[in-house]
Amino acid sequence: MTAAPARTGGPADLAGLRRLAAATLDANWEHDHTVPSRTLYPHQWSWDSAFIAIGLAHVRPERAWQELASLFRAQWADGRVPHIVFNPALRVGAYFPGPELWRSADAQGSPAVHTSGLVQPPVHALAALLAYRRAPGQAGLAALHRLYPALVAQQRYLADHRDVAGDGLICVVHPWESGLDNSPAWDEPMAAVPAEAAVMRAYRRHDTAHADAAHRPTDLDYARYLAIVAAYRDHGYADRALADGHPFLVECPLFNAAFGAAEHALAEIAALIGADPEPHRVRAGRITEALVRRLYDPVNGTFQPRDVRAGRLLGARTVLGLTPLILPDLPARQADALVVEARSARFGVAARMDRPLPSHDRTAPDFEPLRYWRGPSWLNIGWLVRRGLLAHGHPALAAGLRRSMIGLVAGAGCHEYFHPDTGAGLGSPAFGWTAALLLDLLADEPQP
Ligand code: 2M8
């Protein structure tokens, strides 16, 4: 497709953008948490809440702590932090799949409130640390004290229950756990999940009532999503038997990079509250080492997910591969390779970007500019990659990415995602993490 002129002009009125972002977060606030979107995602989502807390710390710090506290109130006895916490006040059918499909109450160790049984990338310790840095003080320190044991339990759940291959990395057991649900990264393992699109006739999808069906996963994708949920749920969401036949087992570079970044953040939180940072530093080092050993592909010079069932790296070259840059201890060899990958025609990161960072290799034949996670640009991913570029000494590229992201919102508003050529707003309008991370980007003016 021909590239339309990108919106790179940037905001004329930064204060106006800040007001828009703050108003979006206010409008999505729901008694003790922020919904990602009033229409598409009306409950609480795990990694959304982490990103949102980072933004709230700029405008309403007390809400940043409430946001994380309400999510962790739904933590399971085994330490898992569920990817959705359902709001009991909403009508049945407000989101699909709803509590009646997850049936969390039947599982051992689930909380009083209904939740899903899956997890999402553990970006919460990083969020807590950044929220504290943005709004330091006694209330923040007290919140860190309260959160620390829960954040440690979240990491322990992953390390003890989800290292299915025994190689020090965490397995996601459903594409929804990756956060990049419909990424081409999952096409191969998803194709091996037995399911038929016709099963969807028994359900009413909620997403396609609020977003263009051509932008969303297909019915066959959803049939597979439900089959994987059913397999996990029917084992009571217990992880013991995962290796014996669970239909989807993948080590994801982003999930594991977040897992490592969480230990780095916990080391800093521990130091702030008078706990011992050293065990966190040791674990962080081991995670980075395992990531490099197991997921780095020296031929392509990027990180690839590993299909644990098939015993091989997956081939699709998506933006997931760039995200280990967030690890400060990523060796220079891999960091340099990722910068080459980021600057390539596949992703186009530059000091002056002519198009936004896409979620998938824009030169790949299966790149889809409109379908979610298969091409469009997302602020949370750009935000992570920008942090990584800063951590590894590339301030000019980081500044280019920052300008590009601010330009997206200036041109189209706080959309869920953006067209990777034109920058047009796609998905849900008034989206939580877009607003939150915009606030963070606006405040983080790089030094000249
Ligand atoms: C999307 O995922 C949900 C399922 O969890 C969905 O498609 O219904 C993803 O973009 C995910 O990363 C995000 O957390 C969630 C809510 O914003 O929406």
Q: Is 13 a catalytic residue?
A: no
Q: How far apart are CA 214 and CA 225, in angstroms?
A: 18
The response to whether residue 121 sits with its C-beta less than 6 Å from ligand 1 reads: no
How far apart are the two ends of the chain, measured CA to CA in Å? 37
Separation of alpha carbons 159 and 166, rounded Å: 10
Dist. CA 309–CA 234, nearest whole Å: 20
Within 13 Å and on the Cβ side, how many CA atoms surround 131? 34
Please state, in angstroms and as integers, the Cα–Cα distance from residue 247 to each residue in 80, 103, 191, 254, following that order: 20, 20, 10, 21
Q: Is the CB of residue 217 below 6 angstroms from any atom belonging to ligand 1?
A: no
Q: What is the pTM of this model?
A: 0.96
DSSP for 75-144 reads --TTS---SEE--TTSPTTSSSS-HHHH-GGGSTT--SS-B-S------HHHHHHHHHHHS-SHHHHHHH
Pick the catalytic residue from 181, 188, 289, 297.
Answer: 181
Q: Can you tell me which atom of ligand 1 is nearest the CA of 431? A: 17
Q: How far is the CA of 179 from the centre of ligand 1 (A)?
A: 6
**C-alpha 198 – ligand 1 centre gap (Å):** 23
**In degrees to the nearest 10, what's the CA dihedral of 401, 175, 29, 18?**
10
Task: Tell the burial category of 103 from Cβ atoms under 10 Å away from its Cβ (0-12, 13-18, 19+).
Answer: middle
Q: What pLDDT score was predicted for residue 1? A: 32
Kindly state if the Cβ of 48 falls inside 6 Å of ligand 1.
Answer: yes
The confidence score (pLDDT) of residue 211 equals 86
Predicted confidence at residue 446, as pLDDT, reads: 63
User: Does 225 contact ligand 1 (Cβ within 6 A)?
Assistant: no
Please confirm, yes or no, whether 307 is among the known catalytic residues: no
Our answer on whether the CB atom of 416 is closer than 6 Å to any ligand 1 atom is: no
* Ligand 1 atom, smallest distance to 176 CA: 5
- Ligand 1 centre to CA of 333 (Å) is 33
In this structure, what is the dihedral angle of CA atoms 23, 27, 33, 38, given to the nearest 10 degrees? -130
Predicted local distance difference test score (pLDDT) of residue 206: 87
Ligand 1 in reach of 45 Cβ (< 6 A): yes
Atom of ligand 1 nearest to the CA of 428: 17
User: How do the pLDDT tens digits run along the chain, 448 residues long?
Assistant: 333 333 433 345 899 999 999 999 999 999 999 999 999 999 999 999 999 999 999 999 999 999 999 999 999 999 999 999 999 999 989 999 999 999 999 999 999 999 999 999 999 999 999 999 999 999 999 999 999 999 999 999 999 999 999 999 999 999 999 999 999 999 999 999 999 999 998 898 888 888 888 899 999 999 999 999 999 999 999 999 999 999 999 999 999 999 999 999 999 999 999 999 999 999 999 999 999 999 999 999 999 999 999 999 999 999 999 999 999 999 999 999 999 999 999 999 999 999 999 999 999 999 999 999 999 999 999 999 999 999 999 999 999 999 999 999 999 999 999 999 999 999 999 999 999 999 999 998 765 4
Closest Cα to atom 17 of ligand 1: 36
Q: Return the pLDDT at 318.
A: 98
pLDDT at 12: 59
DSSP notation for 30-71: ETTEE-SBTTTB-SEEHHHHHHHHHHHHHH-HHHHHHHHHHH
Whether ligand 1 lies within 6 angstroms of the CB of 47 is answered as yes
Q: Which of 263, 268, 341, 416 is catalytic?
A: 416
Task: Report whether residue 99 contacts ligand 1, using a CB cutoff of 6 Å.
Answer: no
| Residue 309 confidence (pLDDT) | 97
Residue type at position 100: E
Give the ligand 1 atom nearest the CA of 47: 14
Count, in order, helices (H) and strands (E) of the chain: 16, 12
